[in-house]
Amino acid sequence: MKITSVEAIPFAIPYRKPLKFASGEVHVAEHVLVRVHTDDGVVGVAEAPPRPFTYGETQAGVLAVIEKIFAPQVVGLSLLERETMATRLARTVGNPAAKAAIDMAVWDALGRTLDVQVTELLGGYTDRMRVSHMLGFDEPAAMVAEAERMRERHGITTFKVKVGRRPVGLDTAVVRALREGLGDDVELYVDGNRGWTASESAMAMKEMSDLGLLFAEELCPADDVLGRRWLVSQLDVPFIADESAVTPADVTREVLGGSATAISIKVARTGFTHSQRVHHLAEGLGLEVVMGNQIDGQLGSLCTVAFGSSYQLTSRRAGELSNFLDMSDDLLTEPLEIHDGELTIRPGAGLGVEIDPDKLARYRQDT
């Protein structure tokens, strides 16, 4: 079970339409496929989705740090020495997606070696999660139409609405149109990606107070310390810390400081090993948890549902598992499908997926 090599393969797949939100927009999924090889001939896989406008990583940066720093640090270790791996990777600051992809590929390789599903290794609570779909910036009618299409085709009834534009009425009008168009049986919550000030956020939430929102997420920057505490103290819905609360230390700081009352776990930035720590802390603090999405492809989305379905707390709410539907293609031999608003884990060892070699050859960027 010793690691013999780590591959990092860049690939690029266009989105059907640009995904737009307060912190940026994405036209092409420029991700990195990570493969961990062992001396047993097993290959574990995972996906690193760089997000330069949030964490500072780029595709080229992920490739460089894995090839020059991280791969030499983990080659020779056993798949069971995950704490040693985590300690070595932590010597290099930042690079969350690169670290997470290596960690998840190791878990996949371990599951394949032991002939056990990753979800069983992690906790094995259930085999599925309800799906939340993210709605990016657009005109109200177009966003309502997209939500209706997702409900009709995939049975999705939870929607995360991107907000954070100025004036705030642009976004409050969208959320109102969604509630009026979709009805009261649909769950809605908003994510500002730090786009508003605390006072703008308070104004927007007051305008939407009658719309039955589930959560509010990262409406204003976390470094506006006093403003965010003031905002959170007056809200009557849980305030989710996302990019401001990545590590257990971040979560502790934000929650005990009064700047958040719920958290988002994204395995794309904390892998399975560190996501476990964040989960256990959240459970101990009595926080609500949403499984988030880093605009992942199908492999990344499967990693999210594999982790989220492992625990009662993370499977309680709908997870953000549908952004792959916005991609024009993907790398898996058997594409993911959302049925009745749910996404299930795959049967088989590890993550239960295989990479299509023809698709990888078509989209890889290093040949």
Q: Note the pLDDT of residue 92.
A: 98
Give residues with Cβ within 8 angstroms of 321, minimum separation 6.
129, 131, 132, 291, 293, 301, 304, 305, 338, 343
* 43-58 residue pLDDT tens: 999 999 999 988 999 9
Report angle CA 63, 64, 65 to the nearest 5 degrees: 100
Closest alpha carbon to 159 in 114, 189, 180: 189
Q: Of the residues 217, 218, 243, 296, which is catalytic?
A: 217
Q: What is the mean pLDDT of residues 11-33?
A: 88
Ramachandran class of 6: left when φ > 0, alpha when ψ lies in -120 to 50, beta otherwise: beta
Active-site residue identified among 294, 296, 326, 342: 294
| 217 labelled catalytic | yes
Under DSSP, is residue 53 helix (H, G, I), strand (E, B) or coil? Answer: coil
20 assigned to active site: no
3-115 placed in CATH 3.30.390.10: yes
Which class would CATH give 120-344?
alpha beta
Set 59, 127, 266, 342: catalytic member = 266
Known catalytic residue: 329? no
pLDDT band at residue 24 using 50, 70 and 90 as cut-offs? confident
Residue range 244-289, pLDDT digits in tens: 999 999 999 999 999 999 999 999 999 999 999 999 999 999 999 9
Asked if 242 is an active-site residue, the reply is yes
Q: Which pTM value belongs to this model?
A: 0.96
pLDDT in tens, 168-212: 999 999 999 999 999 999 999 999 999 999 999 999 999 999 999
Dump pLDDT digits (tens) for 218-237.
Answer: 999 989 999 999 999 999 99
Whether 191 is a known active-site residue: answer yes
Domain boundaries, the chain: 3-115, 120-344
With helix as H, strand as E and coil as C, how does 101-167 read?
A: HHHHHHHHHHHHHHCCEHHHHHCCCCCEEEEEEEECCCCHHHHHHHHHHHHHHHCCCEEEEECCCCC
Active site residue 40: no
Instruction: Please report which confidence band the pLDDT of residue 123 belongs to, taking 50, 70 and 90 as the band edges.
Output: very high
